[in-house]
């Protein structure tokens, strides 16, 4: 079952500042979509709206599963996820951070343990399982955020500037993780303002300009 | 100075040979303070969470009132509860005056603003990114509230400690509404006040030492739990 996202003519303004002005796009192929644009161009707002964290002022965000429109927001939110630039570390162990999304889905303990191990192994943090999450380095924290998002096995994953606050070494590790996620068949929509990174990762390259998305051929 | 040392000596003897009356006073104190703390924690956490996470008309007024009532004078609360529960008062038909229930009501009123206000401070200090991260992982608004409260748990514990301090040390209000009836509403603090008036310093001192010890033990336990949450940076 594949999930398709169609954004139709969405607009969003914050007090005194229009951010998105009739933005449309269709995400229907698997792979990595990279959304570029200068700071403040509305990339993060666009992702937050796509991930259903906030609503647009006008326009529609619709998800289709095998061509059928999904109307249930709660069920839908459990098939997608967004990794925020500041991931929001819960003040507990790495293990318990990862279990959060699984617990609210009501999974059994044995299944949770298996999925957490798989996600931590995927990002190379299996040895940090019992560590207090707030003691991780910036790069490790970002990787834990990816593991937390991956553990729930989302069909579409939105990554908002996932390497903005990490060093070169961790940037490379995170890029490798993103490419591995693509190999697993996920749809990944990522924002960045690093052109070189966009070229390394993108299957499709998009630009945010004047509150609208423009596609650029690769 | 000699009388103080002698007083302490006799007090320790009394503690060593805990009699039924002394034990009764200690247990009644713990029972009344415990129930009052439980009620004020439940109500305080609820109100503290509401004013922290919901935007509604009158929210600022509630926060201001909670902050102001943190320093409520106990005797004023005692008088207020007395007037409410006295035979001619609006709740007189309940016949609660001079009962442990009246003491619980008075202590709850005193501790509630402290717990609610400090819970509010603890919850609003949690980075909103925590709630957003939970939502991004599929949490419902209710689950988002729960994770925010969970993240504020060490601050909430501080609120409970402060509430505990208030109820354990209270004397003015419960003396007015409880009446200090032997074997029924006589608790540690009211006994200390009474025995001091009578010049019976040994019993007053013995109870003072016990009260301080209980307070120290509970606070030490809560402090140990709190230290576990000392790491506090937000990513």
Please write down the HEC assignment for all residues of chain B.
Answer: CHHHHHHHHHHHHHHHCCCHHHHHHHHHHHHHHHHHHHHHHHHHHHHHHHHHHCCCCCHHHHHHHHHHHCCCCHHHHHHHHHHHHCCCCCCHHHCCCCCHHHHHHHHHHHHHHHHHHHHHHHHHCCCHHHHHHHHHCCCCHHHHHHHHHHHCHHHHHHHHHHHHHHHHHCCHHHHHHHCCCCCCCCCHHHHHHHHHHHCCHHHHHHHHHHHHHHHHHHHHHHHHHHHCCCCCCCC
Q: Taking 70 as the threshold, does the pLDDT of residue A218 lie above it?
A: no
- Tell me the two tokens of residue A39: 């700071």
State the Cα–Cα distance between residues A191 and B206, nearest whole angstrom: 68
Q: Residue B230 — pLDDT band, cuts 50, 70, 90? A: low
State the Cα–Cα distance between residues B133 and B139, nearest whole angstrom: 9
Which of B138, B229, B234 is opposite residue A104, by nearest beta carbon?
Answer: B138
Q: Taking 60 as the threshold, does the pLDDT of residue A107 lie above it?
A: yes
What pLDDT does residue B234 have?
A: 42
Q: Taking 90 as the threshold, does the pLDDT of residue A109 lie above it?
A: yes
B136–A83 C-beta distance less than 8 A: yes
Q: Residue B116 — pLDDT band, cuts 50, 70, 90? A: very high
B133–A87 C-beta distance less than 8 A: yes
Architecture of the domain made up of B2-227: Orthogonal Bundle (1.10)
CATH of the domain at A188: 3.40.50.300
Mean pLDDT of chain B: 91
What pLDDT does residue A210 have?
A: 82
Domain count, chain A: 1
What is the mean predicted confidence (pLDDT) over B138-144? 94
Residue span of the structural domain in which A82 resides: 3-216
Q: What is the pLDDT of residues A136-180, one digit of tens each?
A: 999 999 999 999 999 999 999 999 999 988 899 999 999 999 999
Q: Taking 80 as the threshold, does the pLDDT of residue B227 lie above it?
A: no
What pLDDT does residue B235 have?
A: 46
What is the mean predicted confidence (pLDDT) over A62-69? 89
State the Cα–Cα distance between residues B73 and A140, nearest whole angstrom: 51
Domain segments of chain B as ranges:
2-227
Please list every residue in chain B whose beta carbon sits closer than 8 Å to the beta carbon of residue A90: 130, 133, 147, 150-151
Q: Residue B18 — pLDDT band, cuts 50, 70, 90? A: confident
Q: What is the pLDDT of residues B37-76, one digit of tens each?
A: 999 999 999 999 999 999 999 999 999 999 999 999 999 9
What is the mean predicted confidence (pLDDT) over A58-66? 91
Please list every residue in chain A whose beta carbon sits closer than 8 Å to the beta carbon of residue B231: 91, 132, 134-135
What is the mean predicted confidence (pLDDT) over B120-141? 95
A132–B137 C-beta distance less than 8 A: no
Q: Taking 90 as the threshold, does the pLDDT of residue B187 lie above it?
A: yes
Q: Taking 70 as the threshold, does the pLDDT of residue A217 lie above it?
A: no
Measured between CB atoms, does B232 come within 8 Å of chain A? yes
Mean pLDDT of chain A: 91
Which tops the pLDDT comparison, B232 or A53?
A: A53
A134–B235 C-beta distance less than 8 A: yes
Give the other-Cβ count within 10 Å of B225's Cβ.
Answer: 12
What is the mean predicted confidence (pLDDT) over B97-115? 97
Q: Taking 50 as the threshold, does the pLDDT of residue B233 lie above it?
A: no
């Amino acid at each position: 079952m594949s999930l398709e996202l169609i954004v139709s003519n969405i607009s969003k303004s914050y007090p005194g500042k229009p951010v998105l002005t009739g933005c449309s796009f269709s995400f229907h192929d698997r792979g990595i979509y990279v959304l570029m644009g200068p700071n403040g161009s509305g990339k993060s707002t666009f992702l937050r709206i796509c991930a259903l964290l906030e609503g647009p002022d006008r326009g529609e965000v619709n998800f289709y599963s095998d061509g059928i429109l999904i109307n249930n927001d709660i069920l839908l939110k459990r098939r997608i996820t967004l990794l925020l630039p500041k991931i929001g570390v819960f003040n507990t162990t790495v293990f318990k951070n990862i279990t959060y999304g699984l617990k609210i889905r009501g999974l059994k303990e044995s299944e949770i343990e298996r999925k957490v191990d798989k996600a931590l192994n995927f990002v190379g943090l299996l040895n940090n399982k019992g560590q207090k999450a707030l003691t991780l380095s910036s790069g490790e924290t970002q990787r834990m955020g990816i593991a937390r998002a991956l553990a729930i096995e989302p069909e579409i994953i939105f990554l908002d500037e996932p390497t903005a606050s990490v060093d070169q070494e961790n940037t490379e590790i995170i890029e490798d993780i993103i490419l591995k996620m693509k190999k697993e068949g996920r749809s990944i929509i990522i924002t960045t303002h690093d052109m070189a990174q966009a070229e390394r990762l993108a299957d499709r390259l998009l630009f945010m300009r004047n509150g609208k998305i423009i596609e650029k051929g690769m | 100075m000699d009388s103080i040392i002698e007083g302490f000596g006799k007090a320790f003897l009394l503690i060593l040979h805990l009699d039924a009356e002394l034990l009764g006073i200690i247990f009644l104190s713990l029972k009344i303070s415990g129930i009052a703390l439980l009620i004020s924690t439940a109500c305080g956490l609820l109100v503290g969470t509401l004013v922290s996470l919901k935007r509604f008309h009158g929210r600022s007024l509630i926060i201001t009132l909670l902050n102001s009532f943190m320093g409520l004078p106990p005797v004023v609360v005692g008088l207020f509860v007395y007037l409410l529960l006295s035979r001619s008062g609006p709740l007189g038909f309940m016949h609660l005056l001079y009962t442990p229930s009246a003491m619980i009501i008075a202590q709850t009123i005193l501790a509630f603003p402290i717990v609610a206000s400090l819970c509010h401070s603890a919850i609003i200090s949690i980075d909103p990114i925590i709630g957003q991260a939970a939502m991004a992982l599929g949490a419902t608004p209710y689950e988002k509230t729960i994770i925010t409260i969970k993240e504020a748990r060490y601050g909430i514990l501080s609120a409970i400690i402060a509430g505990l301090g208030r109820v354990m040390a209270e004397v003015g209000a419960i003396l007015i509404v409880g009446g200090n009836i032997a074997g029924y509403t006589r608790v540690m603090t009211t006994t200390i006040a009474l025995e001091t008036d009578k010049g019976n310093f040994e019993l007053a001192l013995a109870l003072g030492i016990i009260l301080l010890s209980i307070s120290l033990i509970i606070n030490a336990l809560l402090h140990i739990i709190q230290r576990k949450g000392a790491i506090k940076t937000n990513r």
